[in-house]
Amino acid sequence: MESVGTFVGRDPRLSVPENLREGEKVLPELVDYAGERGVEIVIENCAMEGWHHDGYPGNLAYSPELWEWMFGLGLYLNWDPSHLTWIGIDPLEPYLDRIVHTQAKDVELFPGRRNRYGFFGTMDKGGDPWATGWWRYRVPGLGEVDWRRIIDRFHDLGYTGTVSVEHEDPVWGGTPEKVRQGLRIAHRTLSPLIEP
């Protein structure tokens, strides 16, 4: 079956429970429409922090609790362990059997800075939406995600979905050569674990 990925999003005028009820009205029809055409809809688990003025995540698929709701509607998961890591969820625990697509991205944490900014990060981003204060995205192998354990669990579960590098590393970005070097680092990290 083919898949298409997106976010669930959230209407900031409504509470989270109200958003879930609204999703239950709208999403099943889309799931049915896609299914009739041999397509699974996969939802990324990025919190989309900072999208809404109230401070809540802008995506209703950021936690395993919300994934249960999502799976009940027939949706699947576009899984990125970096997001789970910075929000304090062990990426190896939840629902690895419902993953259709994996975004290989890492995250570097600065716990000492969290003591200043708090869990939600800096309030003054200085015009930089990536300025979180206490964490930043990295290419696989340069952060906290244990790729060896994740890929091993994938092999154990028989995962055959895609593993694609999502390059948002500020250290290895900005120029074509730096981006290429970041991708080489990701390749060196992942290829020994994935390739036979």
Question: Rounded to whole angstroms, how far apart are CA atoms 150 and 9?
Answer: 27
Judge contact between 110 and 119, C-beta under 8 A. Answer: no
pLDDT confidence band for 135 (50 / 70 / 90): very high
Strands (E) in the chain, as ranges, are 2-6, 39-44, 76-79, 99-104, 106-109, 135-138, 162-165
Q: Chain-wide mean pLDDT for the chain? A: 90
| 82 touches 105 (CB < 8 A) | yes
Sheet with strand 2-6: strands edge to edge: 2-6, 39-44, 76-79, 99-104, 162-165
Tokens of 156: 């154990």
State pLDDT tens for residues 51-85. 766 666 888 999 999 999 999 999 999 999 999 99
**Model's pTM, two decimal places?**
0.89
